[in-house]
Structure 1
Amino acid sequence: MSDIPRKSSTRTRRLASIPLGIAGRAAVGYGKKLAGGDRGEINAELSAKAADQLFKVLGELKGGAMKFGQALSVMEAAIPDEYAEPYREALTKLQAAAPPLPAKSVHRVLDQQLGTKWRERFVSFDDTPTASASIGQVHRAVWADGRDVAVKVQYPGADEALRADLKTLSRFASMMASMMPGTDVKPVLAELTERMEEELDYRIEASNQRAFAKEFDGDSDFAIPKVVASAPKVVVTEWMTATPLSTIISKGTVEQRNRAGELFALFAFSSPTRVGLLHCDPHPGNFMLRDDGRLGVIDFGACAPLPKGLPFALGRMVRLASEERFDELTQLLYDNNFVIPGRKVTDREIDEYLRPFTDPIKTESFHFTRSWLQKVAGTAADFNGSQFKTARSLNLPPEYLMIFRVLLGGVGIGAQLDAEAPYMRILADWLPGFTEDDERALPAGG
């Protein structure tokens, strides 16, 4: 494919083609059904074509649009099975196999970032990418010292495309506010924009990865590739050979799936304490299982700084929810700005709102399944249900945006893996405020 579209108007028009295309195919399918066609075959054909279009459009747009698709890929386990299969395959491909850029475009970036004699720094360089992400693609190469390396090259125009998508998202702020009266979405969008802007500078990603690689060097559970070289739009790291999490999800043994689920949770909850950073891009394309049983982690562009670890108040909230102490939990939500100013929620409403989601923190181990997640998602999406009514009075403080993104992503990945693991032990070991007897209700982020 050619370089990615950069203009906001062009990208918005391409995104609009997805629902329009689906509507057009639905009309054709309706005609075929009237003509006596097999409903099952027609529905399957329409779903397959819609999924293919979704992959093609989001993959070619890349930027924020593709990030949205990757976020959907994590939560596809929540989609009822009768609808999910075609989309599951398309969204999984978005994790690592979007349409690549031509070699000449890649060489142009390398010329600009590593100098026109960049080839002298490599023994060999494979022009065919091994993976394609939202703002860059990865090539395998051999560094001058003989090490196998991964070379991530940012797409030309990725910065403009990402900012265009964020601008489009900002236009929807008023619409989102009307759907959730009282919610101030602007601080949340500002936090999202700041994190995405950081992803555009690969020097920040390299700094994040160096911090993780140093802390987890020689770790028995995790493997982080070391950084070899970096520039604003190119980063070179050691190559890591392992089985992608997407393969573990589809073909892994019970032991592999449980191991991956446990390690993903352990990595998410321990990193803020150990590194002072939270890896904020929780989709299977960034994780893999090595033959030695360690979880390999890549792509550190999206990281939230948490120098004090995860918020103490979050651990208290989880503990109070697990013990069903909803009077104290409700007050803690008020104290930490999780309730929209001027709104009122009762202990009973919080109880009813959280009950479908609290199964994983009620037992020492929990088995995440697609059926469980589909049931929970169905309850949350019921516009006529009490949970949705309560949700309209709740707020997400911007400093919790990335934390909840990782938590939700972890739930989605756990359900995809069909994993059972001792999640309560991980919380007890690594979530501040979860086991402490201290009754402090610290401000968010404290």
Structure 2
Amino acid sequence: MTEIPRRAVSRTAKLAALPLGFAGRTVLGVGKRVTGLASDVVSAEIQQRTAEQLFSVLGQLKGGAMKFGQALSVFEAALPEEMAAPYRQALTKLQEAAPPLPAASVHRVLAEQLGPDWRDRFVEFDDTPVAAASIGQVHRARWREPGYDATGAPHTRDVAIKIQYPGAGEALLTDLKQLSRLGGMFRAIQPGLDIKPLLTELRERITEELDYELEAESQRAFATAYADDPEIYIPTVVAASPRVLVTDWVEGTPLSQIIREGSEQERNEAGRLMATLHLSAPMRAGLLHADPHPGNFRLLPDGRLGVVDFGAVARLPEGTPEPIGRIAGLALRGDADEVMTGLRDEGFVSNSEAIDGPALLDFLQPMLEPVAAEEFRFTRAWLRAEATRLASPRSPAYQLSRHLNLPPSYLLIHRVTLGSIGVLCQLEAKAPYRGILERWLPGFAPAA
């Protein structure tokens, strides 16, 4: 019988125990502050208490709820600066930290997945995890390679061992059911959104993350596509089973550290490399890395971007859909009729919706500001301005967005784009993003 720790058994109770009334009223106040509808709704003390309480509970969950918290963590840049600090601190903890699995449980998983002689595969194994995420934790070890050197010592390599939490599958599905109850809220906010197929697509994609052999397959595809690349490094897969994944260790500066204390040059370069990875991967690997939070990236000593965690990917064997680049180029050129036709063809606008073409361009063009010029600096201020424009019920952009839909086939692309922008704004990174799009985004032609 699958082992489920007591922490996992109490997951539903913890979700139910979230101070929803208190947090809900506070978040409503946060929303008013963000959109400029109230000037003094949420005190600093309540902000701090809510952030710590809410994300402390999320941080104890190993599944969909913690994944939800990790997704939120890349968007703290959208909060007004006077409110961001407590959320930034609490959210960042979710990116690389969670309550660890006991060593005895780790050993049982290794014995089940690698065999009872699993210790013979390692020269060293550190029982203390170096990182923890939504469905598993990572340990550092030294893997025993075939053969010996001239002194009789075995050949070895430094590896990262990702171990899935016992009961993670059942817990993840339970969390997804809990989070799916937010569907009614999304319908109230954006009536044009068809939430049911989106939840189905999200459930299928997230469930894939439970299969570490599938993740190994994706990582090998990335590693092949970027072999010997001068800018992107993908660690080699050493061994894989359904719940244990062994890959080469990646030594470098975490992106979260660069966000906190990196030089302007380091932040700019990290942003450029992240944009290059996300825009080039569909064309080069037929895949999109779909988990763009800072814990999954390292800046290596040789200047390359090291990338880890390939559990969440979008499979795009034909590359990024051509309409994305084509419609973006049409919007930059001001062709309202063709933009409307393209969005209707792709399912973003239903044929029954009557939307004004110039108003649609007014809605889209501020989002395309990062690629309207040769270079652009993403900033927290820019993201906050966009959040205000899109979230305020008094804004024409908010009213128009209520008539737009997100087709399920674009769900992960949309999520990765938003998440990547959130990280770029945390980095405050300046780079030639338009040139990166021109090289890697099919159909993108900003000039007539």
- TM-score computed with the length of structure 1 as normaliser: 0.90
Code of the residue aligned with 1:127 in structure 2: it is: D
Which shows bigger deviation, 320-329 or 248-257? 320-329
Deviation at 1:299, TM superposition (A): 0.1
Match of 1:189 among 188, 199, 211: 199
Code of the residue aligned with 1:93 in structure 2: it is: K
In 1: Cα distance, 2:251 partner to 2:19 partner = 36
Determine whether 1:319 maps to 2:320.
no
Deviation at 1:182, TM superposition (A): 4.2
Indicate the residue corresponding to 1:62 in structure 2.
Answer: 62
Deviation at 1:181, TM superposition (A): 2.5
Indicate the residue corresponding to 2:347 in structure 1.
Answer: 337
Which shows bigger deviation, 346-355 or 399-408? 346-355
Match of 1:222 among 218, 232, 239: 232
Q: SS at the partner of 1:147?
A: strand
Q: Deviations over 1:182-232 (max 9, x none)?
A: 432111111111111110000010100011111112110011110011111
* Structure 1 segment 387-426 matched on structure 2, within 5 A: 387-426=397-436
* Structure 1 segment 248-263 matched on structure 2, within 5 A: 248-263=258-273
In 1: Cα distance, 2:332 partner to 2:14 partner = 44
Distance 1:4 1:317, change over 3 A: farther
In 2: Cα distance, 1:329 partner to 1:12 partner = 42
Structure 2 contact 438–444 (Cα < 8 Å) conserved: yes
In 2: Cα distance, 1:414 partner to 1:65 partner = 24
Q: SS at the partner of 2:64?
A: helix
Code of the residue aligned with 1:120 in structure 2: it is: D
Q: SS at the partner of 2:8?
A: coil
Deviation at 1:158, TM superposition (A): 1.2
Match of 1:5 among 8, 11, 36: 8
Aligned CA-pair RMSD? 2.2
Match of 2:377 among 342, 363, 367: 367
Deviation at 1:3, TM superposition (A): 4.9
Structure 1 contact 4–158 (Cα < 8 Å) conserved: no
Q: SS at the partner of 1:300?
A: coil
Distance 1:313 1:43, change over 3 A: same
Structure 2 contact 332–365 (Cα < 8 Å) conserved: no
Determine whether 1:170 maps to 2:180.
yes
Deviation at 1:384, TM superposition (A): 2.1
Deviation at 1:7, TM superposition (A): 6.5
Indicate the residue corresponding to 1:443 in structure 2.
Answer: none
Q: Deviations over 1:52-94 (max 9, x none)?
A: 2233211111211111111111111000011110110111111
Indicate the residue corresponding to 1:129 in structure 2.
Answer: 129
Which shows bigger deviation, 137-146 or 95-104? 95-104
Q: SS at the partner of 1:358?
A: helix
In 1: Cα distance, 2:420 partner to 2:139 partner = 28
Structure 1 unaligned segments of length 5 or more: list them.
Answer: 27-39, 440-446
Distance 1:365 1:73, change over 3 A: same
Indicate the residue corresponding to 1:285 in structure 2.
Answer: 295
Determine whether 1:84 maps to 2:114.
no
In 2: Cα distance, 1:384 partner to 1:25 partner = 21
Determine whether 1:74 maps to 2:74.
yes
Which shows bigger deviation, 223-232 or 170-179? 170-179
In 2: Cα distance, 1:412 partner to 1:295 partner = 18
Deviation at 1:50, TM superposition (A): 2.5
Structure 1 contact 138–153 (Cα < 8 Å) conserved: yes
In 2: Cα distance, 1:411 partner to 1:59 partner = 24
Structure 1 contact 142–149 (Cα < 8 Å) conserved: yes
Indicate the residue corresponding to 1:139 in structure 2.
Answer: 139
Structure 2 contact 283–319 (Cα < 8 Å) conserved: yes
Which shows bigger deviation, 17-26 or 337-346? 17-26
Deviation at 1:12, TM superposition (A): 3.1
Deviation at 1:4, TM superposition (A): 3.7
In 1: Cα distance, 2:446 partner to 2:376 partner = 22
In 2: Cα distance, 1:328 partner to 1:408 partner = 24
Structure 2 contact 14–57 (Cα < 8 Å) conserved: no
Code of the residue aligned with 1:275 in structure 2: it is: A
In 2: Cα distance, 1:117 partner to 1:20 partner = 51
Deviation at 1:44, TM superposition (A): 4.0
Q: SS at the partner of 1:67?
A: helix
Distance 1:3 1:321, change over 3 A: farther
Determine whether 1:266 maps to 2:276.
yes
In 2: Cα distance, 1:334 partner to 1:73 partner = 32
Structure 1 contact 287–297 (Cα < 8 Å) conserved: yes
In 2: Cα distance, 1:168 partner to 1:19 partner = 13
- TM-score computed with the length of structure 2 as normaliser: 0.90
Q: SS at the partner of 2:298?
A: strand
Deviation at 1:291, TM superposition (A): 1.0
Structure 2 unaligned segments of length 5 or more: list them.
Answer: 28-39, 146-155
Q: SS at the partner of 2:186?
A: helix
Deviation at 1:22, TM superposition (A): 4.6
In 2: Cα distance, 1:44 partner to 1:265 partner = 35
In 1: Cα distance, 2:189 partner to 2:381 partner = 28
In 1: Cα distance, 2:86 partner to 2:186 partner = 29
Q: Deviations over 1:150-199 (max 9, x none)?
A: 00001112111111122123333344334433432111111111111110
Indicate the residue corresponding to 2:119 in structure 1.
Answer: 119
Once the two structures are aligned, what percentage of the paired residues are identical?
52
**Aligned residue pairs: how many?**
422
In 2: Cα distance, 1:43 partner to 1:394 partner = 34
In 1: Cα distance, 2:322 partner to 2:436 partner = 15
